[in-house]
Amino acid sequence: MKAFTRMNLHEKFLRAGFMKKYGGEFFSACCDKGIKFYFEDAYQSKTDHSYQVTRADFDKLLLDHAAENGAEVREETSVERVAFSDDQVDLYLQAKERSAGNVRARYLIDASGRNSVLGNHFKVKKTYDHLQKLSIFAHYDGMWREEGRAGTLTGLVRGIDRWFWIIPLTPARTSVGVVLDGEIFRRSEKSPEDFLEEAIAEQPVIARRMHDARRVSEVHVAADFSYRSTNFYGDRWMLAGDAAGFIDPIFSSGVFLAVFSGEACADALDAVLDEPRKAKKLFPAYARRLNRAMDVYLRFVDAWYTKEFIEVFSAPRELFNLPPAINAVLGGNIGTTFGIKWRMWVFYFLVWLQRYYPIVPRLTLVPKKEDLPNTAAPASVAIS
């Protein structure tokens, strides 16, 4: 949000009609009631909202904004090859099956997302073997929502071997997805459409909201393989966003980390362009900052995949002010202050303790059949 303020974007977001998002809600699949958290209640909260966006519209707005502010934009043009020399870098471009010439630059920031142009070029991309997940998702119109602020929350439902997201995109449209080990989907031998529909129908929390819902998109399947580059910079290059690393999308940290790293990267390079000798200090400082931020989310994601996380999370106590600290990290505070750090340590300690000595009730994470509505499947499918 701070970066968007700096770039003067909030007014454009509101004009584009992006919904304000006030927080999130966590459900365990065996319980009806979710745990809501609101950004305004976070430890040292600086904002009460962020945004829910449809990515295509959001990305287009940012692209146009960059062009308006002087960036030269070339759409439908890809970087096919890069070549580095002592004091410059050459990018060889391709546009719609024909060469588009080359661009010569002093430095290159790679923001090519999971394509990781430089990560592959320098072979610095390392995957996390324990986070090789698969997402199956679609968009729905007419899904039931609570009124007011509660209706803007991102919902997460934790099942025993999978988790679901419910993300309001616009007042009418909702994204629903399931994330699980790819092997479970492959073994089912079902089509993505059948798999998603059946997975939703088994979850009372979601199925009950789907009574009047219509699927309005294809069902998409995306590999969610988490990875990180071993280096975030080199002599004439830096990595930002998913090109630097991607962490499981549970806590919606992807766009946050992309904006966070994009801004930090640009600030560092801006100073280096004026005084190249500053690279020695600023590039490693950038890498340390980004690694720290990624560590925060990676640790959170690792904990999420233990059953004890949702058990401890579902029984929040106002003990030591822990819930506001967890809330702060979920809201994009990367926990650099000691006040958040020690509270997170206590939270992880409780999650660890729960495994050996139940300090809060155990949860089955198995949905109760009697909670399912009679007709769980969406009423119709209309692909637009």
Ligand X SMILES: Cc1cc2nc3c(=O)[nH]c(=O)nc-3n(C[C@H](O)[C@H](O)[C@H](O)COP(=O)(O)OP(=O)(O)OC[C@H]3O[C@@H](n4cnc5c(N)ncnc54)[C@H](O)[C@@H]3O)c2cc1C
Among 79, 109, 176, 350, which residue sits at the site for ligand X (rule: CB under 6 A)? 79
156 lies in the binding site for ligand X (CB under 6 A) = no
> Residue 275: which residues within 8 A CB-CB, separation 6 or more?
none
Q: Which lies closer to ligand X via its Cβ, residue 139 or residue 343? A: 139
Binding to ligand X (CB under 6 A) within 311-370 occurs at none
Q: How far is the CB of 306 from ligand X (least distance, A)?
A: 21
Residues 184, 188, 194, 199: is their CA dihedral positive or negative?
A: negative
Q: How far is the CB of 302 from ligand X (least distance, A)?
A: 18
Amino acid at 216: V
Hey, which residues does 156 pair with through a beta bridge? 26, 165
Q: For residue 251, give both structure tokens.
A: 């806590």
330-333's contacts with Cβ under 8 Å and 24+ in sequence apart are 330/24, 330/37, 330/42, 330/251, 331/23, 331/39, 331/42, 331/45, 331/47, 331/50, 332/1, 332/50, 332/253, 332/256, 332/260, 333/42, 333/43, 333/44
- Strand pairing category for 77-84 and 89-95: antiparallel
Q: Which lies closer to ligand X via its Cβ, residue 291 or residue 360? A: 291
252 lies in the binding site for ligand X (CB under 6 A) = yes
23 lies in the binding site for ligand X (CB under 6 A) = no
CA distance 318 to 330: 17
152 lies in the binding site for ligand X (CB under 6 A) = no
Stretch that binds ligand X, among 248-256, 274-282, 336-344, 360-368 (CB under 6 A): 248-256
182 lies in the binding site for ligand X (CB under 6 A) = no
Q: Which of 215, 134, 207 is nearest to 174 (CA)?
A: 215
Q: Which lies closer to ligand X via its Cβ, residue 167 or residue 196? A: 167
Stretch that binds ligand X, among 16-24, 251-259, 307-315, 330-338 (CB under 6 A): 251-259
x/- string (CB under 6 A) for ligand X, residues 208-237? Answer: --------------x-x-------------
Q: For residue 201, give both structure tokens.
A: 């129908």
Q: Which of 358, 167, 374 is nearest to 255 (CA)?
A: 167
Q: How far is the CB of 357 from ligand X (least distance, A)?
A: 35
Q: Which of 212, 230, 190, 46 is nearest to 140 (CA)?
A: 212
Q: How far is the CB of 94 from ligand X (least distance, A)?
A: 8
Q: Which lies closer to ligand X via its Cβ, residue 258 or residue 328? A: 258
CA distance 161 to 262: 34
241 lies in the binding site for ligand X (CB under 6 A) = yes
Stretch that binds ligand X, among 210-218, 230-238, 249-257, 375-383 (CB under 6 A): 249-257
Q: Which lies closer to ligand X via its Cβ, residue 243 or residue 269? A: 243
Q: How far is the CB of 353 from ligand X (least distance, A)?
A: 31
Among 78, 132, 217, 337, which residue sits at the site for ligand X (rule: CB under 6 A)? 78
117 lies in the binding site for ligand X (CB under 6 A) = yes
Q: Which lies closer to ligand X via its Cβ, residue 103 or residue 271? A: 103
135 lies in the binding site for ligand X (CB under 6 A) = yes
Distances from the Cα of 5 to the Cα of 71, 122, 226, angstroms: 19, 35, 30
> Residue 131: which residues within 8 A CB-CB, separation 6 or more?
224, 225, 226, 247, 248, 301
Interface ranges with ligand X (CB under 6 A)? 78-79, 111-115, 117, 135, 167, 222, 224, 241-243, 246, 249, 252, 254-256, 258
